[in-house]
Amino acid sequence: MRSRSQVKRGLLALATATAALVAASCTAGSAADGPQPAPGPDEQVTITVSSQFTDRELDVLNRVLDGFHAKHPNITIKSQGNQDDDKITQAIRGGNPPDVAISAETINLGQFCSSGAWQDLGPYLQRDQVDMNQIVKVAQEYTAYEGKRCAMPLLADVYGLYYNAEAFARAGITEPPKTMSELTDLAKRLTEFNPDGSIKVAGFLPVLGSQANHPWNWAPHFGASWMDAQGKSSLGTDPAWQEMYRWQKELVDFYGWDKLVQFTSGLGQQYSADNAFQRGKIAMMIDGEYRTGFIDQYAPELRYGTAPFPVADGKPELYGTGFVTGTIIGIPRGAENAGAAWELVRYLTTDTNALVELGNGLKNVPTTTEALHDPRVERSEQYQTFLDLFDNPQLVPSPPSPNGSAYMKSAEDFSVKWQSGQVGDLGAGLRDLDAQIDAAKALGGN
SS3 411: helix
Residue 380 lies in a domain: no
Do 94 and 221 belong together in one domain? no
d(CA 152, CA 130): 12
Residue 16 lies in a domain: no
For the chain, the residue count is 446
Q: What is the CATH number of the domain that holds 183?
A: 3.40.190.10
Structurally, the chain folds into a number of domains equal to 2
Do 222 and 282 belong together in one domain? yes
Residue 414 lies in a domain: yes
List of residues 6+ apart from 401 with CB closer than 8 A: 107, 110, 111, 407, 441, 444, 446
pLDDT at residue 398, rounded to an integer: 80
pLDDT at residue 380, rounded to an integer: 94
pLDDT tens, residue by residue, 340-378? 999 999 999 999 999 999 999 998 999 999 999 999 999
- Domain limit, last residue, from 316, 350, 384: 350
pLDDT at residue 33, rounded to an integer: 62
Do 192 and 131 belong together in one domain? no
State which residues form the domain around 253. 158-324+399-445
pTM metric for this prediction: 0.86
Residue 356 lies in a domain: no
Neighbours of 443 (CB within 10 A): 12
Residue 166 and residue 284 in contact, taking contact as beta carbons nearer than 8 Å: no
Do 238 and 291 belong together in one domain? yes
Residue ranges of the chain with pLDDT lower than 70?
A: 1-33, 444-446
Do 287 and 331 belong together in one domain? no
